[in-house]
Amino acid sequence: MITRAPAPGIREPREEAPRRGIARRLARATRALATPLLPDDYLALVNPLWSTRALRGRIVATRPVGHATTELTIRPGAGWAGHRPGQHLGIGVEIGGRRHWRTYSITSAPGDEHLTVSVTAVPDGSVSTFLARTAAPGELLTLGPAIGDFAPEHDGPLLALTGGSGITPILGHLAGGAGTATGADTVVVHSGRGERVHGDDLGRLAASRPRLRVHEHDSGSGRLRPADLDDLVPDWRERTVLVCGPAEMIDEFSAHVAEAGATCLVERFRPPEPVAEGTGGRVTFTASGIVAEADAVTPLLRAGEDAGALLPSGCRMGICHTCVGRLRSGAVLDLQTGELHIADDTTEADDAVVVRTCVSAAAGDCRLDL
Amino acid sequence: MSVTSPSLRSTSTVANPEVVPDHVTRINEAKTPTGPGRPGASTAHITPSTAHLSTEDIERIGAELEAMRDEVMSSLGEADAQYIRRVIKTQRGLEIAGRIMLLGALFPPAFVLGTASLGVAKILENMEIGHNVLHGQWDWMRDPEIHSTTWEWDAVSTAEGWQHAHNYLHHTYTNVHGKDRDIGYNLLRIDPDQPWAPHYLFQFLSNAGLALIFEWGIAMFDLEIDEVQRGEKTWADKKPAIMGMLRKAGKQMLKDYVVFPALSGPSFVPAAVGGLVANLMRNVWGHAVIFCGHFPVEVETFDEERLENESQAEWYVRQMLGSANIEGSTLLHIMTGNLSHQIEHHLFPDMPSNHYARIAPQVRDLCRRYGLPYHSGPMWKQYGGVLWKIARLSFPGGHEAVEKRRRRGLPVIGEAVATLRRLRDGAAPAAA
């Protein structure tokens, strides 16, 4: 994940992650020696994990947790600021010399020495296939910071409704202590068809945690319906409901829970279907001068990255607003809201038009201050 | 690349040089989209070396070059990424080795080896890494650590200022009188069309001086102080750029002449001298390579009116005629940052430099087939041509002498014309 502009660069040396005592003083003194680079650029020659300039991680173990799913154990480098249960992170891998970013839920506990994520190889998915099938211990990855807010604000009882790989952020909560003697009382209702991603782990946890109940539903025999909740979890209305799974499932259950007046948090892995189409056009990114041809449905972020621009990005589905940039001129269509944003060079800074590049497409030629 | 969208370098931009895009223009994206035979087309593209070519021929040349570019750009992959990372690693290794040896600079062998290692590191950093990264040649990797928007180089000029002056002004207006403000035109009379003045009598010396302080020359040139002299900008406009440059230069000086020598303790003076010599090595080498790229005597210069409605293909031809290559070993190519393939670099400034050597024979063959000169020669010959021109032009006149040597560099036109006729008759009988 690329942090918010300016991109992690040397031209504007960003604040280095806090280090302790001697290390910090040394780091400051070595700045003068390393200019115009950073000391970290030289440290990275010895071990890339020592650099805080670009957050890196190394795969230390892989473990199959489903027929197409692999759990990766990653040692994060210096500068990893930790995470909270339910969060996800961007993982950058290089394929064909180009860096590609994807987002995965963190399934390990905060404070663990290593991070774990689970990657399911999807057909035609170059990054997921690489991570799930090819990547071996020793592989160096680029990491983004942990982001996301898929966690209740209090320690009350939880109900997790998950489908397929939607179990992963809940595994993060379980790793963080949900369902243990001192953790939140937790019920997990997990739907899957045939394949049980992390099925064994779930079974093991259910058997050992006093305040955790797991109900596994085989959706091959019919989908789970909101109406089934009353039988499965009679007290669900008193719980904070976390929903993660296919889009229809999220829509159906979150509406039902909201209707009952209970708290509902959702986590999506894919952006909602676009409600509108742009017209495509020529997109200029003013920071680099890169010009990209974008079609009607390709998000500006994708079009820019494919043309070689370094752009900030986060969730890549319109939630986190990490990727936003000012529209300098032209028109841009928000694919999720159908809203058309228009600016021209006379638009005052106070009225700046800011667009989410990950879910917006060009509606004619436009220029973005990114 | 679209030929229908509005261009950053439309006619109005050419007519009004102050309308400059507010960012660094990617040259290959910013060419005039007008085609051949368009209304108002200028005939200024017809120079002695292109007089035998029709507009269609030039368009064909352009199409062939586009195809060459597309082929390379779509082939980029892991091997290229490994190449640039290997060069960066080597450069940083050499720099560390040089600095460590200079810690004991009182010991003569350590002084010599340390200085050499540091000098080579600085050359690699400026040429094969800095120059090329700042051109965006490696942006396709999307690695923020090797990207034109984040790179800062080991020179007193700021990357940002250099990108504007070099990537935009020099690469767009290559060898155009009064437009190309690449280093040299400010200080020296490098083209017979520049009016003579008495101070040019000493330009052989000023050139040597410029070579020694080349990085400062670039930094000064990037500031475009002449805009203030002409009243286009005020000192207040220039202040941020000047302050930025001074800050950068201060850090560079501190590192080379204070911090590292201080770490060397008793070796302070020889260590500082080592840093100075390394900087001089880089300056003299950079100066020689840059001057060999555009100023050998055979290389053409162009009139401003040529820019009027210049088509993309004509732009390509101007880039080829206005640049010169240096022949030599792979090591020479890497040490020049592959600017020894100046022709290929000017055609495709954002193509990764490790591909220039591969396409150079194709470009040379293209020039041969169309009867165009392909200026290429060993370093002694190219630099000799530069020095001869500087010497001759320190005196008034020189038009005939330069023109004579220029024509001598042209290929045998007759043969080329015959080839072209055959080609044209075969390709498009209607045009015969």
Q: Does B400 touch chain A (CB under 8 A)?
A: no
CA A312-A71-A195 angle, 5° bins: 110
**What percentage of chain A reaches a pLDDT higher than 70?**
94
Angstrom distance (rounded) from CA B45 to CA B61? 14
Angstrom distance (rounded) from CA B282 to CA B118? 9
Among A142-156, A224-238, A249-263, B87-101, the range with the most confident prediction by mean pLDDT is B87-101
Q: Which long-range contacts (CB under 8 A, 24 or more apart) does A26-33 make?
A: A32/B251, A32/B254, A32/B255, A32/B259, A33/B99, A33/B255, A33/B259, A33/B260, A33/B263
Query: pLDDT category, B184, cuts 50, 70, 90?
Result: low
- B140-149 exposure pattern, b = at least 16 Cβ within 10 A, e = fewer: bbbbbbbbbb
Whether residue B239 is predicted with pLDDT greater than 80 in this model: the reply is yes
Which chain B positions have a beta carbon within 8 Å of A54's beta carbon? 144-145
How near does any CA of chain A get to the CA of B119, in Å?
16
Q: How far is CA B316 from the centre of its chain?
A: 15
Q: A288 and B23 in contact by Cβ < 8 A?
A: yes
Q: Does A345 touch chain B (CB under 8 A)?
A: no
Which run of H or of E encompasses B333?
helix B330-335
pLDDT at residue B413 in the model:
59
Residues 6+ apart with CB under 8 A from A22: none
- A72-81 exposure pattern, b = at least 16 Cβ within 10 A, e = fewer: bbbebbbbbe
Angstrom distance (rounded) from CA A273 to CA A258? 21
Chain B window 58-87: which residues touch A at a Cβ cutoff of 8 Å? 76-82
Angstrom distance (rounded) from CA A93 to CA A101? 7
> Which of A41-45, A57-61, B84-88, B96-100 is predicted with the least confidence, judged by mean pLDDT?
A41-45
The CA–CA distances, whole Å, from B264 to A10, A37, B121, B154, B424 equal 27, 21, 19, 21, 69
CATH architecture of A158-267: 3-Layer(aba) Sandwich (3.40)
Q: Note whether A316 and A336 are within 8 A (CB).
A: no
| Amino acid letter, B298 | E
pLDDT at residue A15 in the model:
44
Whether residue B7 is predicted with pLDDT greater than 60 in this model: the reply is no
Residues belonging to chain B: 432
Among A321-335, B326-340, B394-408, the range with the most confident prediction by mean pLDDT is B326-340
**Per-residue pLDDT reduced to its tens digit, B390-403:** 999 999 988 888 88
pLDDT at residue B412 in the model:
65
Number of other residues whose CB lies within 10 A of the CB of residue A101: 19
Which chain A positions have a beta carbon within 8 Å of B160's beta carbon? 11
Query: pTM for the complete prediction?
Result: 0.85
Among A314-318, B47-51, B83-87, B171-175, the range with the most confident prediction by mean pLDDT is B83-87
Q: A95 has which bridge partners?
A: A98
Interface test with A, best of B149, B163, B164, B168 (most A CBs within 10 A): B149
Domain boundaries, chain A: 55-147, 158-267, 281-369
Higher pLDDT: A286 or A7? It is A286
| Amino acid letter, B374 | Y
Rounded mean pLDDT, A321-332: 89
Q: Does B160 touch chain A (CB under 8 A)?
A: yes
pLDDT at residue B29 in the model:
41
pLDDT at residue B426 in the model:
61
pLDDT at residue B10 in the model:
31
pLDDT at residue B195 in the model:
87
User: Which one, of B284, B232, B267, B278, lies nearest residue B20 by Cα?
Assistant: B232
Backbone angles phi, psi at A61, to 5 degrees: -160, 155
The most distant pair of C-alpha atoms in chain A lies apart, rounded to whole Å, by 68
pLDDT at residue B182 in the model:
67
Among chain B residues, CA nearest to A305? B142
Whether residue B274 is predicted with pLDDT greater than 90 in this model: the reply is yes
Q: Note whether B214 and B284 are within 8 A (CB).
A: yes
Q: Note whether A357 and A304 are within 8 A (CB).
A: yes
CATH topology for the A281-369 domain: Ubiquitin-like (UB roll) (3.10.20)
> Which of A241-255, A276-290, B92-106, B312-326 is predicted with the least confidence, judged by mean pLDDT?
A276-290
**Per-residue pLDDT reduced to its tens digit, B33-44:** 333 333 344 455
Higher pLDDT: B44 or B335? It is B335
**What percentage of chain B reaches a pLDDT higher than 70?**
83
Number of other residues whose CB lies within 10 A of the CB of residue A24: 13
Rounded mean pLDDT, A230-238: 93
Higher pLDDT: A316 or B21? It is A316
Number of other residues whose CB lies within 10 A of the CB of residue A216: 15
**Per-residue pLDDT reduced to its tens digit, A101-138:** 889 999 999 999 999 999 999 888 899 999 999 999 99
Q: Note whether A194 and A297 are within 8 A (CB).
A: no
Whether residue B256 is predicted with pLDDT greater than 90 in this model: the reply is yes
Q: Note whether B66 and B311 are within 8 A (CB).
A: no
Token pair in block for residue B123: 């050359």
Q: Note whether A175 and A109 are within 8 A (CB).
A: yes
Q: B149 and A7 in contact by Cβ < 8 A?
A: yes
| Bond prior to A6 in cis (omega within 30° of 0) | yes
Query: pLDDT category, B76, cuts 50, 70, 90?
Result: very high
Average per-residue pLDDT in chain B?
84
Residue corresponding to tokens 């040019």: B200
Measured over the CA atoms of residue A212, residue A218, residue A221 and residue A224, the dihedral's sign is: positive
Q: A98 and B142 in contact by Cβ < 8 A?
A: yes
Backbone angles phi, psi at B61, to 5 degrees: -60, -45
Angstrom distance (rounded) from CA A348 to CA B145? 33
**Per-residue pLDDT reduced to its tens digit, A341-354:** 988 877 777 778 89
Rounded mean pLDDT, B256-285: 96
Higher pLDDT: A140 or B25? It is A140
**What percentage of chain B reaches a pLDDT higher than 90?**
59
Contacts A–B by Cβ distance under 8 A: 118
Using CB atoms, pick whichever of B2, B89, B160 lies closest to residue A282.
Answer: B2
Among chain A residues, CA nearest to B262? A33
CATH class for the region spanning A55-147:
mainly beta
Residues belonging to chain A: 370
Average per-residue pLDDT in chain A?
87
Angstrom distance (rounded) from CA A17 to CA A43? 14
**What percentage of chain A reaches a pLDDT higher than 90?**
51
pLDDT at residue B324 in the model:
95
Whether residue B363 is predicted with pLDDT greater than 70 in this model: the reply is yes
CA B54-B56-B58 angle, 5° bins: 75
SS3 content of chain A, % helix, strand, coil (to 5): 25, 30, 45
Chain B window 230-259: which residues touch A at a Cβ cutoff of 8 Å? 248, 251-252, 254-255, 259
Angstrom distance (rounded) from CA B310 to CA B303? 12
The three state secondary structure string of A306-319 is HCCCCCCCCCCCCC
Among chain B residues, CA nearest to A12? B150
Query: pLDDT category, B386, cuts 50, 70, 90?
Result: very high
Whether residue A22 is predicted with pLDDT greater than 70 in this model: the reply is yes
Whether residue A282 is predicted with pLDDT greater than 60 in this model: the reply is yes
The CA–CA distances, whole Å, from A256 to A17, A157, A272 equal 44, 18, 18
User: Which one, of A14, A39, A42, A13, lies nearest residue A27 by Cα?
Assistant: A39
Residues 6+ apart with CB under 8 A from A186: A157, A158, A159, A160, A173, A174, A178, A179, A211, A212, A213
Higher pLDDT: A318 or A5? It is A318
Which chain A positions have a beta carbon within 8 Å of B80's beta carbon? 97
Q: A363 has which bridge partners?
A: A280
Domain boundaries, chain B: 51-79+157-432
Whether residue A4 is predicted with pLDDT greater than 60 in this model: the reply is no
Chain A window 243-302: which residues touch B at a Cβ cutoff of 8 Å? 282, 286-291, 293
Q: Which residues of B71-219 form beta strands (DSSP E)?
A: none
Whether residue B417 is predicted with pLDDT greater than 70 in this model: the reply is no
User: Which one, of A156, A147, A173, lies nearest residue A91 by Cα?
Assistant: A147
Angstrom distance (rounded) from CA B292 to CA B289? 5
Angstrom distance (rounded) from CA A92 to CA A100? 5
The three-state secondary structure class of A291 is strand
In order, the DSSP letters of B139-164 are GGG--GGG-TTT---SSSS-HHHHII
pLDDT at residue B19 in the model:
36
> Which of A131-145, A251-265, A302-316 is predicted with the least confidence, judged by mean pLDDT?
A302-316
**Per-residue pLDDT reduced to its tens digit, A38-94:** 888 998 898 999 888 889 999 999 999 988 999 999 999 988 999 999 999 999 999
Whether residue B58 is predicted with pLDDT greater than 60 in this model: the reply is yes
Complex ipTM: 0.83
Whether residue B8 is predicted with pLDDT greater than 70 in this model: the reply is no
pLDDT at residue A303 in the model:
92
Q: A32 and B78 in contact by Cβ < 8 A?
A: no
**Per-residue pLDDT reduced to its tens digit, A235-257:** 999 999 999 999 899 999 999 99
Angstrom distance (rounded) from CA B118 to CA B95? 5
Among chain B residues, CA nearest to A281? B5
Number of other residues whose CB lies within 10 A of the CB of residue A324: 18
Using CB atoms, pick whichever of A308, A310, A365 lies closest to residue B5.
Answer: A365
Using CB atoms, pick whichever of B99, B151, B263 lies closest to residue A10.
Answer: B151
